[in-house]
A and B are shown apart, each in its own frame.
Chain A
């Protein structure tokens, strides 16, 4: 429903290009007022669109009825009635349509009032965009959207394979041709539609005139764009940055060099530039002027990039005719120069790829384009960006799988533990901090690891999942913590001579042990053997962090002390007759750690 509501009525100002969209809008409006009094849905539109839509619709109605002689499908009252049901939507305004559906509009460029719509139903999100433009015009900005977590992106693909070069080349060429023409005293006819192109070209020319100090008049034919210009002036926030910037000092749409036009000027001598409707010289004022100006070779006609077959514009574009037959009696000699200038407000293939890359949705659906080209683009999106892409035909149904997300609560402590990098642990690695360089590498490894947060998922009687921290769990469950310590016992062989020599050399401790025989000393080595061990460890692995204590040795979380179990009962191992055995147990946190100490 919202998708349809986003059709931009203004695009119908270029009816041939956008006839399809126009039909869509009409049918949509039709549906609305066919529903009569029972309003079952509203549709949202952007402010400029709402402002301009009634005008456009009324215009179209007249064309349908008066020109084509079709049956009147709706009346002016219908339009008014329909517009009453339209709610205007502003850029980046989030609207909760009902309790599930949330929509938000983003700027799309293209035409005044064009928008991309972000919609969210439950947890599923999508962006629908009709026509948009990724490169800015002179009068409109580029599409602007933020990074969103999207399940689906539906995008137009009018130019699925075209990559356009800089528009500046075309602009420069245009200005050069126009300047050349007027400097030779020629007249320039620019047939154009009321909205978009006229403003774009006029801004370009007005600025050029200003810079080059040109005094040649620029005319807008009466009726053309006067109303449209008014809307542009009012809806300045939807225009390009430059116009917004200068708005405070001067409205860019108050063209400095544009003068009001009178019919008598058509045949007045001297150079001029004239904007006239309609854009394809299919009739009306532009045809009238064309008849007058075409026979002179110093004059210039600039045509839009696309003209419907059958119009004079189309004839001029397809080869350079010297004579055009209007009807049996009237002919026009065409000697003037023809310049073709296409300003397309659609994005090109690169723009589409850029948008898809930026939004990185889970899935992409391409709409509005030629089938083979869309297939190519689809292939590119899938291979280059790795995003699942679809290009459904009319009436085809596509199922998009979305990820189920489960919401869980989390305690504050858990969130904090996720957010804070704890530098304590990583800066105190377990073993042998002897070399700072070695430490640095260790540190980087700790940082480079993907950050993980450890937590415990609990679900209590309320059936609501909650993540808690490890230390919070005890509190929550109301239980006490039981710690289990592991110890590893291993025999340590100590050279007997070393022991005695040590005892002789050492102080008070030695005095105590001197009374015992050497065998007894071996049976209860206690502190002395620990001391020896300490000494050996220090000398062999140059371990500075080892802390000595009469009862145990400590290296970070590892504690070493002698074991009460008697090892003497064990048989001596081969070749170790002279050595005493000392039983050492190592206790380390929760781990079992082996220490090998060989003699």
Chain B
């Protein structure tokens, strides 16, 4: 077919007769090229013939040839000697077809790998580029610009030409009549700036900047957006150069310009303006402060012109910048508000005064009705806090503490993270903060861990305040500590946490606290240490608390040295970046960074930071395996409880319950009880078996005689496999466990006999029954009613021996079966075998058997020679072999 079409295409192209026929053959070509099943050779052949056709009809009607040319842009890597001259010819034609040739070029550059850009260089030269740029076709100009700005593997297409020519071209096209061209040209200039092409030449840079600044008032909003980016980028380069004497004035002017654009009527432009404002550096403080106040500072009437305007003529007076950020945070669109908030934080790094004023504005933003803005504000606050620019005053606290009661969990979380870093001004504020946290804990007990951590840091940062608070509290509780004290109250818990926080750096203060409080804290040690994990070594803390509470530490044999607590800091646990106090850029703001951030702070302050969990985990191990068994038992119970529903064929409900069980198992297994995978694996097999049983029951009514076999049989096969695995993969199963599994196996056989009589099945049944009998040593008292009845039916069947006429009492048996609770003892291991077949063609296969989880290393690994598809008896295991 492919070949046929290809031949037809070549024939048609050779006999070119007008547009209609060409379009028809081109549609063939298109389908051949774009069909994913076409071979590469075919595609190349198609493109070959297209090139030949175009070459032959160069002087034809370009409007028709376009259709053929555009097909060449299909991403197929190929090379044809006459392609480049052909493209050159069309590019130089001065017709609309040049646009299509450019599309082909773009495609070649993109798909040609490393050499793609070089190919463009062979086709285009400066003269051609200039002539294309002055064509009257908009699409040609547009595509030329997109080609120039194209970068493949770090090489830009424009670098093929002299930068002077490219810049001149872009500057010229930035004045184009069409907004799309203007935008593309400005974007191109921004790319040049980004690549550092303009960094060396001040006059050129100035040209670009002037063009960008002029276009800030363009009619088209997207052009304005692009020029904001260009101006911002130019500002960055100016700032980086620093050689110019008037660089500061220039940057001030750029800032003022961007501020005035921030009042634009278009939302996109405003967002871009605020984003750009955040990127500007080296702005003088007076201009920065002006952007926060609507009232023009200095001379009344707002006629004040920027200082030192000798070298650059300022078109913009300072009043244009007035209150830009106030407008930003009052904006109707939350996107603008969020961008303004972010920029406030970025600029706060440069000036203390500005940071203070910005904080006032940011506090208002905490009241915003959009969650995104509130989050952004908190992130900004956090950013300021990490740069040590966040100084809360009393008036701010009401707003800020209000956030702790916020509806959104995200907001509450970040608010607490900010709280960890701030410095509170007065004792009253400190008290109200702790009080709010208590309220917080009452309202959201599930966030205890985080709240504890917050209290810990608040206490640590404000030792004196905390000590005062604890003292007052100590007076209250010590007399009544005879047993009245309820440790459950959130207030007490937090105060104890506060006490613990005092253990750090405030040794003097600690001595004044009655030891009774520390002994109270020990009672909460579990909760405290859990929330402080990763910050403090638990053992050291416990020992220290024992030490302080004057209780001889008989429980643990840890010996405490006072310095040890502080020396536990894990070297290298925090990246160097954080140590140097370098703030994270706003774009990479993972919440998880926060903890690292705090660790870094700890390093600075010299407090211990330890993140080892290994030792406590080992201690936990013993108790946890019991815990695990218990939870697995519970899960198995839940699975078994679905049996009545299975019988009633509520398959969907059962499956829902079972998948919940499965999820629970996953959670249990992910909790890291590494050693006891066997129980989890066994339980998941068991749940699967029940699942398959449910499926079987769901399919039973479908099955009439001989019909509906396939799907039921498939399910039963799966069930059999699953049961076999349970039986053989877990050596060490107890009697009851094995019996249970055997009964299930028998059940699956019985189901197979549903409507069909099969000797093979009967035999298998008998085998299972004898296994059961063997298991219980012949004493039938232990056998269930189902098993007894089954035994009877089997013996009867064997006696009558007339298989066709003998009706096996399937219905009665199924009715008798009752799924008992699984007698889970969990004293087994899990053995898994992986078989690898080597040498498939030699008739025999070398099988490499790897056994996991077994101490019996003496037969691992071994090589067996077996015929394909056979059973391998292997100790107590039966291995099903498969060839790969």
Q: Do A and B bind each other?
A: yes
- What is the interface of chain A, defined by CB distance below 8 A to chain B? 135-136, 138, 141-142, 144-147, 163-169, 171-172, 175-176, 179, 203, 207-208, 210-213, 240-242, 348, 350, 354, 358, 380, 383-384, 416, 418-424, 426-427, 436-437, 439-441, 443-444, 446-448, 451
Alpha-carbon distance A440/B758, docked complex (angstroms): 96
Residue pair B134, A175 in contact (C-beta under 8 Å): no
State how many angstroms separate the Cβ of A599 from the closest Cβ of chain B: 37
Given A136-B331, A168-B361, A444-B204, 6 more pairs with CB closer than 8 A? A138-B369, A166-B364, A167-B330, A242-B334, A350-B294, A350-B322
Instruction: Given A172-B363, A242-B332, verify A447-B302 contact (CB < 8 Å).
Output: no
Distance between Cα atoms of A340 and B265 in the complex (Å): 33
Min distance, Cβ A177 to any Cβ of chain B, angstroms: 11
30 pairs from A and B in contact (CB 8 Å cutoff): A135-B327, A136-B330, A166-B329, A168-B330, A171-B367, A212-B406, A213-B405, A240-B332, A241-B332, A350-B294, A350-B322, A380-B301, A380-B302, A383-B301, A384-B302, A384-B317, A416-B136, A419-B177, A419-B178, A420-B136, A421-B133, A421-B176, A424-B131, A426-B168, A427-B130, A443-B165, A446-B168, A447-B172, A447-B207, A448-B207
Residue pair B207, A423 in contact (C-beta under 8 Å): no
Contact B294 A421, beta carbon cutoff 8 Å:
no
Residue on B nearest A166 in the bound complex, by CB: B326
How far, in whole Å, are A241 and B134 apart by their CA atoms in the complex? 43
Consensus secondary structure, chain A interface:
helix
Contact A444 B406 (CB under 8 A): no
Chain B residues lying within 8 Å of A380, measured Cβ to Cβ, are 301-302
Closest CB-CB distance, B143 to chain A, in whole Å? Answer: 16
In this assembly, does B415 line the interface, its C-beta being within 8 Å of a C-beta of chain A?
no
- Min Cβ gap B381→A in Å is 16
Q: Is the CB of B203 within 8 A of A242?
A: no
* B350, chain A: closest CB distance, angstroms: 22
Among residues of B, the one whose C-beta sits closest to the C-beta of A142 is B332
Within 8 Å CB of B178, what residues of A?
Answer: 419
- Nearest 3 CB-CB pairings of A with B: A168-B364, A440-B164, A419-B177
Chain A residues positioned under 8 Å from B219 (CB to CB):
147
- In the complex, the chain A residue whose C-beta lies closest to that of B177 is A419
Choice from A168, A242, A436, A451 contacting B329 with Cβ under 8 Å: A168
Contacts of B398 in A (CB 8 A): 176
Instruction: Say yes or no: A423-B130 contact (C-beta < 8 A), given A136-B332, A172-B367, A242-B334.
Output: yes
Contacts of B173 in A (CB 8 A): 421
When chains A and B are docked, how far (Å) is the Cα of A383 from the Cα of B305? Answer: 13
Query: Which B residues touch A416, using CB under 8 A?
Result: 136
- Taking the closest CB of chain A, its distance from the CB of B262, in whole angstroms, is 11
Residues in B with CB closer than 8 Å to A418 are: 177
- Give bound CA distance, A427 to B130, whole Å: 9
User: Which residues on A sit within 8 Å (CB–CB) of B203?
Assistant: 441, 444
Which residues of chain B are near A354, meaning CB under 8 Å?
263
B135 at the binding interface (Cβ < 8 Å)? yes
From residue B131, how far is it (CB to closest CB) to chain A in Å? Answer: 7
Roughly how many angstroms separate A241 CA and B133 CA in the complex, as a whole number? Answer: 42
Given that A212-B407, A440-B164 are known contacts, is A172 also in contact with B204, CB under 8 Å in the complex?
A: no
Q: How far is the CA of A300 from the CA of B334 in the complex (A)?
A: 32
Contact A423 B407 (CB under 8 A): no
Give the docked Cα–Cα distance between A422 and B365 (Å): 51
* Chain B 204-238 interface 0/1 with A at a Cβ cutoff of 8 Å (1 = within): 10010000000000010000000000000000000
Assuming the A-B contacts A440-B164, A444-B207, are A422 and B317 also in contact, with contact meaning beta carbons closer than 8 angstroms in the complex? no
A358 touches B164 (CB 8 A): no
Judged by a CB distance under 8 angstroms, whether B169 is at the interface is yes
B76 to chain A, nearest CB (A): 34
Check B364 against A169 for contact (C-beta < 8 Å): yes
Q: Given A136-B331, A436-B162, is A423 in contact with B302 using a C-beta cutoff of 8 Å? A: no
The answer to whether A427 and B165 touch across the interface, beta carbons within 8 angstroms, is yes
> Is B171 part of the contact surface with A, judged by Cβ < 8 Å?
yes
Partner of B294, one of A146, A147, A164, A443: A164
Contacts of B840 in A (CB 8 A): none
Contacting residues, chain B, for A211 (C-beta < 8 A): 406-408
Complex: A376 Cα to B465 Cα, angstroms: 53
Question: Smallest Cβ distance from A375 to chain B, in angstroms?
Answer: 13
Closest B residue to A136 by CB, please name it: B332
The reply to whether A213 and B294 form a contact with Cβ atoms under 8 Å apart is no
Minimum CB–CB distance for B605 against chain A, Å: 33
| Chain A residue nearest in CB terms to B296 | A163
**Which residue of chain B is the closest to A180 with respect to CB atoms?**
B398
Nearest CB of chain A from residue B197's CB, rounded to whole Å: 13
- The A-contacting residues of B in range 401-439, CB under 8 angstroms, are 402, 405-408
Establish whether residues B134 and A358, one from each chain, have CB atoms under 8 Å apart when the complex forms: no
B330–A166 contact, CB under 8 A?
yes
B323 at interface (Cβ–Cβ under 8 A)?
yes
In the complex, B487 has a CB within 8 A of chain A: no
A180 → chain B closest CB, angstroms? 9
A146 to B305, CA, bound (A): 28
Bound: A142/B270 CA distance, A: 14
B135 and A358: CB pair below 8 A? no
Contact A242 B164 (CB under 8 A): no
Chain A contacts for B207, CB-based, 8 A: 444, 447-448
Q: Fill in one digit per residue for B265-296: 1 if any A CB lies within 8 Å of its CB, else 0.
A: 10000000000000000000000000000110
State whether B402 touches A358 (Cβ < 8 A).
no
Query: Are A171's CB and B364's CB within 8 A?
Result: yes
Interface centre among B135, B162, B204, B323 (most CB of A within 10 A): B323
A144 to B264, CA, bound (A): 10
Q: Chain B contacts of A436 at CB under 8 A?
A: 162, 164
A421 close to B402 (CB less than 8 A): no
Cβ–Cβ < 8 Å partners of B323 in chain A: 350
Q: Does B319 contact A (CB under 8 A)?
A: yes
The complex places the Cα of A4 from the Cα of B200 at a distance, in Å, of: 60
Q: How far is the CB of A245 from chain B (nearest CB, A)?
A: 8
Q: Which residue of B lies closest to A211 (CB)?
A: B407
- Beyond A166-B326, A384-B302, A439-B164, whether A242 also contacts B294 by CB under 8 A is no
Say yes or no for B399: interface residue by CB 8 A criterion: yes
Using CB atoms, name the residue of chain A closest to B217: A147
Which A residue sits closest to B207, measured CB to CB?
A444
- B210 nearest CB across to chain A (Å): 8
- B142 CB, nearest partner CB in chain A, Å: 13
Whole-angstrom distance between the alpha carbons of A418 and B177 in the complex?
Answer: 8
- How distant is B213 from chain A, measured CB to nearest CB, in Å? 13
Q: Which chain A positions have C-beta within 8 A of B302?
A: 380, 384
Is B471 located at the chain interface by the 8 A CB criterion? no
The answer to whether A212 touches B369 (Cβ under 8 A) is no
Does B303 touch A at the CB level, under 8 Å?
yes
Other-chain residue from A136, A138, A164, A423 in contact with B168 (beta carbon distance below 8 A): A423
* CB of B540 to closest CB in A, whole Å: 40
Taking CB atoms, residues of chain B closer than 8 Å to A210 are: 407
In contact, A144 and B168 (Cβ under 8 angstroms): no
Report whether B265 and A451 are in contact in the complex, using a CB–CB cutoff of 8 Å.
no
For the complex formed, measure the closest distance between the CB of B731 and the CB atoms of chain A, giving whole angstroms: 57
Q: Looking at the assembled complex, report how far the CB atom of B415 sits from the nearest CB atom of chain A, in whole angstroms.
A: 12
| Residues of A contacting B327 in the complex (Cβ-Cβ under 8 angstroms) | 135
Q: What residue of chain A has the Cβ atom nearest to residue B126's Cβ?
A: A427
Query: Chain A residues with Cβ under 8 A from B326's Cβ?
Result: 165-166
A212 contact set on B, CB distance < 8 A: 402, 405-407
Does any Cβ of A come within 8 Å of B175's Cβ? Answer: yes
With A168-B330, A172-B399, A447-B171 known as contacts, the answer to whether A242 contacts B369 (CB < 8 A) is yes
CB contacts (< 8 Å) of B334 on chain A: these are 242
Closest partner residue, chain A, to B219 (CB atom): A147
